[in-house]
Structure 1
Amino acid sequence: MAALRIAFEAPDSPGNSAAIGRKPIDFAHLSVQTMGDKALEIEVLQLFARQARQIMKDIVEGEGTARAQAAHRLKGAALAVGAVDVAKTAGAIEHDPSDMSLPGDLSAAVLEAELFILKLCR
């Protein structure tokens, strides 16, 4: 139910699940990466959301080295768009792929970023 509430709030709503004053995407970083092109920002964010969902499957289903490699790919993609929380959690999985509590945390961070991106695109 909370995910539905998040999905229909404005991206800058105080009820957002992100830490107070912090959005799931660092727009200053993203703007530098896209040279301020707003259409490109949206395109890159949509690509990231699709890629993150595919890589999450690899992380959840993978083991050991395969999980660490998938987490590394997701960390790189997240850093490219400014999804700092996703990158941080993916980095933790890359460092310790055997910690089974981390994929759940990563899934929550990815979901938060995806919902935020969806709100921006509507």
Structure 2
Amino acid sequence: MPQQASMAFALPGGETSKPSRKRPIDLVHLTRETFGNRALETEILSLFSRQISGIVNRLSQANADERVRLAKSLKGSARAVGAFRVADLAESIERSPGNTKLLSELHPEIDDVRDYIAAITR
């Protein structure tokens, strides 16, 4: 049975994709992390999408210590899948848990990532 192409290479133009922080998910990074296993990519992205929804909802209600813990968890997961803008914002929240402006910046990034995941995993 032939192996499915990874997301980075199954999409038009994917064969020439370079790592990018401009896309919500860096598909080249994700492909490297999953060794090109499309089923694994889809599973990981699905789990990540569910995780970020829960974390973002809890972040705004959390105290500073909990916010640091949640942001650290989000940062690690986001970096693992290649959601580098989310990871960078999570790191900023981890460093400045009282900065509510960062939380408001995180929401549209999360929406972009979730929309992107939905589009590429159809």
Please indicate, yes or no, whether the TM-score normalized by the shorter chain is above 0.5. yes
Q: Alpha carbon RMSD of aligned pairs, Å?
A: 1.8
Higher relative contact order (CA 8 A, sep 6+): 1
Aligned to 2:97: 97
Residue equivalent to 2:40: 40
The one-character-per-residue Cα deviations of 1:51-100 (angstroms, maximum 9, x if unpaired) are: 00011122111021111110000000000100001000010000000001
Hey, what's the Cα distance between the residues in 1 that align with 2:101 and 2:33? 32
- Aligned counterparts of 2:114 and 2:104: Cα–Cα separation in 1: 15
* Paired residue type of 1:22: K
Question: Which residue type is aligned with residue 86 of structure 2?
Answer: V
Q: Report what 1:57 is aligned to.
A: 57
Ranges in structure 2 where 5+ consecutive residues have no aligned partner = 1-10, 13-20
Q: Name the counterpart of 1:120.
A: 120
- Which residue is equivalent to 1:24? 24
1:38 Cα deviation after fit: 1.1
Take 1:56 and 1:22, find their aligned partners in 2: how far apart are those partners?
A: 21
How many residues end up aligned between the 2 structures?
105
Cα distance in 2 for residues equivalent to 1:108 and 1:89: 11
| Counterpart position of 1:109 | 109
Q: Residue type matched to 2:35 in 1?
A: M
Question: Residues of 1 paired with 2:60 and 2:48: CA distance?
Answer: 18
TM-score (ref. length: structure 1): 0.81
Amino acid of the structure 2 residue aligned with 1:37: N
In our comparison, the structure showing a higher alpha carbon Rg is: 2
Find the counterpart in structure 2 of residue 4 from structure 1: none
Structure 1 segments of 4+ aligned residues over 3 angstroms from their partners: none
